[in-house]
Chain A
Amino acid sequence: MNTLTKIGALATVATIALTSWASAESIKIGVSYPTPTHAWAAGMNWHAEKAEERLEALYPDVDLILVNSPDPSAQASALEDLVSVHQIDALVVLPFESEPLTDPVLNVKKSGALITVVDRGLSQPGIEDIYVAGNNPELGRVSAQYMKGRLKDGDNIVILRGIPTLIDNERFDAFMAEIEGSGINVLDHKHANWNRDDGFEVMQDFLSRFPDIDAVWAQDDDIAIGVVAALKQAGRDGNGMFVVGGAGMKETIKGIMDGNELVPVDVLYPPAMIATAMDVTVAAFKSNGPVAGRYILGATLITPENAASFYFPDSPF
């Protein structure tokens, strides 16, 4: 489903062989991630459950144990339990925060389990055997490329950023690097915290402040919803105006399939990456090919042509 870019491989086949010997009857894989408190994470939770069903039906000897935790220290305890109670052979973990979970994950590794880290890297290199993540700089670059394709020299855009974090900086810096020299003016950029309400208010203020805006990079589908409401309120949603979000929210993708002109494309940062990580981890036990390495998912541009393959109507996101 996703374009997998394999960057490097580590020799861990020996470890895998050993651990699968140790528990011949069933392969236990712990999957740990933060409790979903926002839509993207809820989508991830849904995809993890789907992947569990699918993989356990496919391989009766594989047992996937899904655990979600409300904060970093609860996640650290959950990891300890996965080792002591379930004696897992492999761990798929989306760390709450990199720093506080590095040691707990290292302890799981010492128990001999295969480690797959998803989305957020640990603060120490070399712990994980498999790394699966979305591509934040690529999300910014792909968005900027689309803008360059639609806009001409001298056109004006505004940018609504996320919560001030490394993820936001990576996306923003890559976008600015790509847009530089194109003649497109970035009027201003403000943080809208990946939130609909903030997207609405920041966009209202941009509209009062700048009489001429040709396009908006909202970076995120939730922000884009607020931006669209503000544009419609001000009656400035016509004249070729368009908004580029990001992530892959089902409503946004449905809109793209239906030919929405205001939000014509989306850039993928899929919550389904947890399913990819679970697939790869199971493959470490089942495939005859080597799987250890780094998998950086593509930030695919979702257009009306390919939207159907990213549309999950039952997912909460």
Chain B
Amino acid sequence: MTEITMSTAKTRKLIGFDLKTAGPAIALLILCVIGFLLNPAFLSEGNITNLLTRSAFIGIIAVGATFVITAGGIDLSVGSMAAVIAGVMIIVMNSAVGTFGTGVTTVLIGCGCSIILGLGAGLVNGLLTTKGKIEAFIVTLGTMGIYRSLVTYFADGGTLSLNYDIRGVYRPVYYDSFFGLPIPVWVFIVVAIAGWFLMNRTAFGRYCTAIGSNESVAKYSAIKVDRVKALTYVIQGLCVSLATIIYVPRLGSASSSTGVLWELEAIAAVIIGGTVLKGGYGRIGGTILGALILTTIGNILNFTDMISNYLNGTMQGLIIIIAVWLQRGDWGRNKSAD
């Protein structure tokens, strides 16, 4: 379908082992070895569980971002969207206490409200980019500012806190485990599998790739370009709302500092994973590894005092660039395959 997928297929045949797709996995493996060498506690069960649970937020959001980016779009609003959804969820649940008590019903109302808001916010981004014909970068830059200031406004500049009794009911969603894995990790797994299926085994996934490769050709091939593109933003919104549903029970609060820079982390996870930023090629599996790599970097930096705290950003930047270079560099590729 595209040049890239074709050359990838060829390379795979010729050298048997494809560095391009294995790049993120190798990077993650190297990181884990470094982490273990620095401190064996890195591989302790507790730390691995923490790592996976933490990756769930960015990972789930990044699965949505993979669709948006594959179809040639970009969504900068996800971090602010998560913050405003978390804020509204808390307000709704707190005010539902009076009518529905502090039981599961109230929590379900909160979750339902989160999903509706996520779908709605995604639809707004999608319609403005397609029907409104405004560049995705500008639309989502705008909604990013709007959502961020809305949460500040709702919280009166401070912090919105969930009613203490509901927190008790809702808390297990983040802290409890199911077959040895925390619930957020299960949500992450389900979202990842659903995303992989949608991207690789359905017409919708192929449409996204086609539109990202060449929008005009896709249009002439009778693909409903606007509808597919708008849908990618709706999927992104749904992913954000799922991430928010597992985020809120962690600390039971939302403020203007919630989800700051999540959009960049999600985009970084997608690109580290091998999806092409200008669209046309998307890898859900890579995105998952990308999210794990990003969280692992932060985790390792907390496990050592060898590197000055002020240089954390430098280390993160270096590792991101190296991880992408591992899969983009020509060095792993058989020349005759090109």
Contacts and interface: CB of A to CB of B under 8 A. Distances in A.
Interface of A: 35-39, 41-43, 45, 161, 164, 188-191, 195-197, 200-202, 204-209, 222, 225-226, 229, 233-234, 251, 316-317
Given A208-B46, A208-B47, A209-B302, A37 B253 contact: no
A191 B309 contact: yes
Nearest to A210: B41
Interface string B187-205: 0000000000000000000
B157 A229 contact: no
Nearest to B295: A201
A43 B158 contact: yes
Interface residues of B, number: 31
Contacts of B159: 39, 196, 222, 316
B256 A205 contact: no
B303 A205 contact: yes
Given A37-B152, A38-B255, A206 B157 contact: no
Nearest to A196: B251
A39 B157 contact: yes
A293 B173 CA distance: 54
Contacts of B156: 42, 316
Interface string B38-61: 010110101100100010000000
23 contacts: A36-B152, A37-B152, A37-B256, A38-B157, A39-B158, A42-B157, A164-B310, A196-B253, A196-B255, A197-B251, A197-B257, A201-B50, A201-B54, A204-B54, A205-B47, A205-B50, A208-B50, A208-B303, A209-B39, A209-B41, A229-B251, A234-B46, A316-B157
B304 to A, nearest CB: 9
B298 A201 contact: yes
Interface in B136-187: 152, 155-159, 161, 175
Contacts of A196: 159, 251, 253, 255, 257
Contact of A195 (B46, B50, B257): B257
Q: Which of A43, A205, A251, A317 has most chain B Cβ within 10 Å?
A: A205
B305 interface: yes
A41 to B, nearest CB: 6
Nearest to B258: A197
Nearest to B38: A209
A234 B41 CA distance: 15
Interface in B208-262: 250-251, 253, 255-258
A86 B31 CA distance: 60
Given A197-B250, A204-B50, 18 more contacts: A36-B152, A36-B157, A37-B256, A38-B255, A39-B157, A196-B251, A197-B258, A201-B50, A205-B47, A205-B303, A208-B41, A208-B44, A208-B303, A209-B41, A225-B253, A226-B251, A233-B175, A234-B46
